[in-house]
């Protein structure tokens, strides 16, 4: 087994784990907390996000590892592949970095950070509703987009 094959296997496993994580949030986590009142919804989300924000080592290995493995894959793939294989590696890279990581960095993380900074105990009901409305729709929309791209990335890696 050569380095490119190891990189492909690593990228496939880690990107598939990321896709599963995002899919779980789309199908289970966010629908599961949707019916909570505004304060408890924001509290529940904040507690889940704190696990990630506190640099959970396994989560960090999976998430950062998926990014690093994709970067390694494209660097190696551009040197080795031509034609449709090169296009597949480039599509995998674009789907992963622009479809998953860009929305995460530009939308989801800033929204998460905003929730982390809220003083949920002192906000009145109107302010809580405003904060939840600002957060929930935008976060879910972005998560659906990144979930689709994560699944496409994993599918291409498996099919490749």
Residue 158: the pLDDT is 96
pLDDT single digits (tens) 135-157: 999 999 999 999 999 999 999 99
Predicted TM-score (pTM) above 0.85? yes
Which residues contact residue 158 at a Cβ distance below 8 angstroms, ignoring those fewer than 6 apart?
12, 16
The Cα 96–Cα 119 span in angstroms is: 34
Which residues contact residue 118 at a Cβ distance below 8 angstroms, ignoring those fewer than 6 apart?
42, 46, 131
Q: Which residues of 15-32 are buried (b: 16+ CB within 10 A; e: fewer)?
A: bbbbbebbbebbeebbee
Residue 55: the pLDDT is 82
The Cα 15–Cα 19 span in angstroms is: 6
Domain coverage including residue 53: 3-159
DSSP designation for 36: S
pLDDT single digits (tens) 21-77: 999 999 999 999 999 999 999 999 999 999 998 989 999 999 999 999 999 999 999
Element (DSSP H or E) covering residue 132: helix 125-159
pLDDT single digits (tens) 91-108: 999 999 999 999 999 999
Give the chain's domain count. Answer: 1
């Amino acid at each position: 087994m050569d380095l490119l094959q190891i990189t492909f296997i690593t990228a496939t496993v880690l990107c598939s784990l990321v896709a599963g994580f995002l899919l779980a949030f789309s199908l289970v986590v966010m629908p599961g907390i949707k019916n909570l009142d505004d304060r408890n919804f924001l509290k529940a989300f904040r507690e889940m996000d704190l696990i990630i924000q506190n640099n959970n080592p396994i989560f960090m290995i999976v998430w950062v590892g998926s990014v690093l493995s994709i970067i390694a894959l494209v660097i190696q793939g551009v040197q080795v592949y031509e034609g449709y294989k090169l296009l597949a590696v480039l599509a995998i890279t674009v789907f992963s970095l622009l479809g998953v990581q860009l929305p995460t960095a530009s939308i989801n993380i800033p929204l998460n950070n905003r929730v982390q900074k809220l003083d949920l105990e002192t906000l009145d009901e109107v302010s809580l509703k405003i904060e939840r409305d600002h957060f929930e729709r935008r976060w879910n929309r972005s998560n659906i987009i990144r979930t689709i791209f994560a699944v496409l990335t994993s599918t291409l890696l498996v099919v490749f």
